[in-house]
Structure formats: structure tokens, C-alpha cells
Amino acid sequence: GGGEGGGLLPPTILGTGVGSGEGIYSSVIGPFAIPVVRDSIQTNEYPFEPGEITPVVPPVTPPADPNRPPLARNDSFSTAEDKPITMRPDQLLANDSDPDGDPIRIISVQGASNGTVVLNNDGTVTFTPADGFTGTGSYSYTITDGNGGTSTADVIIQIDPDPTTENNVIAADDAGTVVAGRAITVNVLANDTDPEGDAILPGSVRIVSGPDRGTATVNPDGTISYQSVGTEGYFVTFVYEIFDAKGAADTATVTIEVLPAANNVIAVDDTGEIVPAGASKAFNVTGNDVDPQGDAFQISGILTGPTRGTATFDAATGNIIYNSVASNTGYTEVITYEITDARGAKDTATLTIRVEPTNNVSAVDDTADLKAGQDVRINVLRNDSDAQGDAFNITRIVDQPRVRDGSGFGDARGTVTINPDGTITFTDTAGARDSAVVEFSYEIRDAKGATDIAVVRVTISPAANGVDANNDTLTLEENSGRANVTPTLLRNDFDPQGDTFNITKVTQPAVGGTVELVGNQVFFTPTADYFGPVTFTYTITDSKGATDTAQVVINVTPEANTDLNAGNDFFNTGFNTNLTITPAQVLANDNDPEGSVLNSSSIISFTQPANGSVTRDASGNFIYNPNNTFRGTDTFTYTIRDAQGDTATATITIRVADPLPQDNPVDARDDLVIVAPGETRSVNALTNDSAPDGGLTFVRLVDPLPAGVTNLGNGVFRYTAPDNTTGQTISFRYEVRDADGDTDIATVTFKVEGPVNSVIAN
């Protein structure tokens, strides 16, 4: 209000309250509270000075705009037959919108066609096609903007056939033409197909109906032969049925046009006839010839051939007589003959004769079975033979392996290897898992050059999920300490499907040591001072859960002896014949692990034999003189001393005989030892050597020992592989001798294989 001089009215404030409480007013002095009672008019008087009051205007909120609904748009997806499909909210809502920018969500699904639909708790939508249905399915969904606005759209689902669940085979109609009275063979399977690629079984072909004239016969290879009748022309049909490997069936119609036959006679070729070289044979070539009109006919002449033997016509029997000539390789003759019927009709045909060689060898077909992706060794020669008893072997693979299907041969599959022992190894394609029948052929040749060819059929069954653990044998030295044997255990294990695998379980041996499984690594620690066999098992598991268990035998060998070693020696001499034995011969199998060099002066004493005498000459040679009447085995001993003063004694055995016994050679065979990085392995090189005459003895090292190899005496060697090294190979040669003095040389090879466990600090 106003006051004097245009100022404020007397300091009085009127206010209308809207509820109990206090109203707030502003002035230059500051805010203050005025009590207000709801629904009342109050008068409150307060003293104010002019200019102390500032009016407060309450804010005004404009009315809200009306909500606009969201917009749902149609969607489309695809899935396979019998395969549910789940659609995420972001997929369904990707093309939907709200004009007000409100967030939208799916609140319901409905109206499923050719299937069922469910709105899941996580907001996804799952559509399940009806069983076996292919085509178009659909449903609708409704969205909301959260403010009452909704919209509905349709979802179209294209349901495609699942080729893995289909099982069909398609037989296509066939046609052929033949002259009345003759036969025709139709390869009805040539144009039949299987959409899933399953094999169509030739043995499944059967005639369902017809023909009403003539006869139709199913052959073992799935072809159908039709024999026409009469002389006039006509059409005939018959229906056949086929099956695939999964049991699907279909039928098709074969239509044969039979052309009219004039006055004719039909000569049919004769094949597959066999005659031994140098022999004669009569052939009834007219047995398969026909005259459609039923007229009598006979051979009227031999027109051409043969080129090596001779052929004549025997009018009395109606046969052709063929006389072959001797041959070590065999040959083929083709003879052309003519027949004439009672009315003068003529025709010609050929007689093909295979002349077997005088010297022959026979290869017989073989079969084998295996799982897909694996290999099989086949002893194909076990059923082959040579009539003359000549030795024979495989010379080559004639036809490489190919898949055999209903229509012939398909794609190549697998490889074939001829092994040194005369067997054949078929290796299926790596990673293959499906079944198939694969065929290949091989040729054999005997010592005189005769050859023959046979076929090998391999039936491959589907590969199962599996892993193959194979037994292992290894050698460790007594008190050699903890060793990682994992590389040795896994080197002969494999997974046919190529899956990765690891060791997942071990058992403890009954005696001889302990086994630890650390991660997927196996460690073995021999019991202190124990030597002998130790047995335990381990289990491997592949990435798909397949398992297999194998047995491990660890041969713990006695700890190396560092004492001076003198080895026994064996020699032969004739009756009443002196024998000179050099120091080198005596010391060849003696050694000092401490490194002393042994020579003639190392021999410090010897004893006398019971059946002769021994002396030493100036060169240190032993001179053995048997008693005049002695025959048999005599012995004496000698003693050696090394630089450290250690001594050792050995026995020299001499066999005195007249004449000397039959001499059989000694056979030293190479040794290969696989060693893991950081592992110590020992090998007795004489284990696989042989001496038929007895007295197998280690003589000497032909080559210096490589670094890391220790000679433990009597042909036993120990090697410690370097750490963090793989692929390294070291070798050396040694010599052995038998009781007759025969010698042979072999090689010992240590090869480092296995994972290298390392860490690199940068």
C-alpha cells in the first residue's frame, strides 16, 4: 500500500494461508515467518520501515503436453527345421522408435503361427517351430513407452529344411533300345541320386513290377538286364526300387523299345576264358549265341586270329579248339568267328582267351576295417601264392585309394605305404570322421617275373570320440633322483580326432618309488638303494572328455660301479695248436671308470690252466700251449691293476677242438634311446645283440664317447641330456665278439625329445 509521501502504508501485511504452518516473506531486513492457519483469513501487524518489503512472485508451471505412443515395426528372422531361435530385445527393437524419446520395451508376445513363442524373463523372445515344419512361421509382439503408449508389430520366421535330418534318395526313370530276341543291360543307378550324399546300395535294387513281356534280371552290380522275346517290335516297361545306406527308398520306371528283328542270327562275344600256357582247350562259343527266329545255326568259319597259338573248328562237336604256346609272361588271344543260320543269316563275334604264364603268381583280394582318421597295417601277401613256389613281393601300388560308392569310384581318400616287411599300411585322411568304403590295388611279382594284381577294400567306420594311451617302458638308474617322465609317457599316445590331451591321473607303484602328478607333468622318484622293475598306471584325458589308461614299467638299474673292471674273454684254438693272445685282446673289454689307461703293463699276474700251459713273451702276449691229447675247454685267470692300485681278475676260456666247431657270425644291432631334456638314461647295448656260438663280449669303443656319456662297463652306457635342449642327437659305435672270435660293430644313439620348460626374464 502507500503511505505518506508515496511511501509504504502503515506497516500492515495481509496474507491468505493455504495450509497450517508459516509463510515466508522477504524484506530488506531479512526473511521472517508469519503463522498461517488453513482456510482462514488472518491479519498480522508488524512494524516496517519504508522500503523494507520486497514482493515474491510464485513460479507458474505450464500444462504438460499429451503423450504420443511408440511405433513398432515388423521384423524377419530365419532358422532351421526343428531348431528354436531366440531373439534379443536389441534385435527386435532396432527398427522401433518413440516420438517423445521415451525408452521402450517389449511387454507381451502373442499370435504364434506354425510354432510357439515365449517372452523370457531376460527380455528375449524364443520361437520354437512346430515339429518337422518347414516354411513360414510368425508371431506378434507389443511394446510400451512406459507412459501408457503401446504398439504392436509382426515377426516373420523363415524355417528352412535341415539337411542333416532329411533322408531321401531319388530314382530317375531310364530307357533303352534293343533288337527283338537280344538282351540289353541298363545301368539304372547311373542317374539316381541321394541329396544327403548317402551311398546308394547296388545290392538293394529290386524289380517291383513288370515286365509283361520278356524277362528282367537284377545283376550283383545293381544293373538290370532285359531279355527281349519274339521278332516283332514292342514297348515294355518295368518298375525298380532302390535304397540308400540310411533306408530311404524310391522307385523309377525303365522303358525298353524293342525293335523288330529281320531274319538274323546273333553271335555274342565270349570273354574271361583262361588257358594255361602250352595247353589246349575246346570252347563252345555258340552256347550264348541266339537266332531270334529259332533257326538252327553253326560256325561257318574262323575269320581272324589267333596271333601266337593255333585255332581250328571241330565240326563234329561244334567247338573251337585253341592250342596255346609256352610263355613265362602270359598273353591274350582274340579269335573272330562267324555263324550262319539255316536261312543264310550271318553274324560274327570274338573269343577272347587269356593265356596264363607257365610261371605264374596269384594275388588274392583283401579286406580290412578301421576307424575314421586312423591307420591299419594289412598283410596282403598272406593269401597270395605262387604255383611254382617262387618267392614274390609287392612291386607297386597300381591304383591309389578312392572312395567306392554306388555309381563307381568317387574322391581320393587316404594314403598307402608299402612297408619293408611286405605289409601295406593304409592311413585314412587326417581329421576324417565319416564312414566310407575305400579301394586300392597292388601288384606282386615273383622271382621269375610273373605278376598279378589284387584289390584291397578298406571299410571305414565313423570315428568315435576317443584317445589312445599306450604302455611305456623306460630305464632309470638306482638313486638317480626325481625325474620328469612325461615326454616318454606321451610320445606314443595319440588322439584319432586330433584333440589335445594331458595326463590327469596316476597310481602309485607297489614297490620301488613314488609318482607325483604336478599340473599335467609326471615325476618319478626311485626308492633309495632300490633297483628292479617299478609299475604304475596313468590316465590321459582329451579336450572332449575321452579317457584312456596305460601301464608304465620303469626298470631301475643298479648304480654304476666305479671299481676297476676286468671282463672275461673267450678264444678258440685247434687240437694240439698253440694260441697267441695279445694284451689288446685281453684288455679290450676291461675298463677303469676312474679313467686309468690300461695297457700290457697293467697285467700283473696270471694263473696256469689245468690242461696246458701259459707263458708271456717280451711283447706281453699270452702263449697258450694245450696238452698233446687234450680236447675241450681250458681256463686260466689274469689280474690287472690301475694307476690307483685297484685290482681286478677275469677268466680267459679257451676251447680246444679239432676240427673247430661251425662258426656262426655275431650280430651287433643298433640301439636308439629317447631322452627328455635334463633326464638321465642308461642302456645295455648288448641286450639286443646275439652270438649263436655263445660268449657275447663287449670288446671296445670304436668312437670316442660324446660329452655327457659315461661307460659303466660291459656294454652299459649312461647319458645325461642337457637342460632346455631338444632335437639333439649323439651317437657312437662299439664292437662285440663271440666265443669263436667273430666280431661286429653297432651304433648307440641318444636322441633328446620332449618339451623344453623355460622362463625368460627381460
30 dihedral zone (left: phi>0; alpha: psi -120 to 50; beta): left
Question: How far is Cα 332 from Cα 269, in angstroms, rounded to an integer?
Answer: 15
Minimum mean pLDDT range among 34-48, 151-165, 177-191, 426-440 = 34-48
490 within 8 A of 686, measured Cβ to Cβ: no
Per-residue pLDDT at 127: 97
Which residue would you say has higher pLDDT here, 6 or 679?
Answer: 679
Categorize the per-residue pLDDT at 34 as very low, low, confident or very high, splitting at 50, 70 and 90: low
Residues 487, 489: Cα–Cα separation, whole Å: 6
pLDDT bucket at 726, cuts 50 / 70 / 90 = confident
Indicate if the pLDDT at residue 5 is higher than 80: no
Give the pLDDT score at 22: 44
Work out the pLDDT band at 114, boundaries 50, 70, 90. Answer: very high
pLDDT at 214: 96
What's the mean pLDDT in 337-362? Answer: 89
At 761 the pLDDT is: 33
| Domains of the chain: residue spans and CATH | 75-160 (2.60.40.10), 174-259 (2.60.40.10), 270-356 (2.60.40.10), 361-461 (2.60.40.10), 472-557 (2.60.40.10), 569-657 (2.60.40.10), 674-752 (2.60.40.10)
Residues 6 or more apart whose CB falls under 8 angstroms from that of 316 comprise none
What is the pLDDT, as a whole number, of residue 681?
A: 92
Assign 21 a pLDDT band (cuts: 50, 70, 90). Answer: very low
Does the pLDDT of residue 664 top 90, yes or no? Answer: no
The lowest-confidence range among 68-82, 382-396, 556-570 is 556-570
The answer to whether the CB of 426 falls within 8 A of the CB of 375 is: yes
Average pLDDT of span 352-377: 89
Find the Cα–Cα–Cα–Cα dihedral 704, 705, 711, 717, rounded to 10°.
Answer: -130
Q: Are 119 and 125 in contact (CB under 8 A)?
A: yes
Dihedral, 298, 301, 306, 310 alpha carbons, nearest 10: 90
Instruction: Give pLDDT tens digits for 201-234.
Output: 999 999 999 899 999 999 999 999 999 998 788 9
| pLDDT at 658 (0 to 100) | 60
- Res. 759: pLDDT tops 60: no
pLDDT at 50: 55
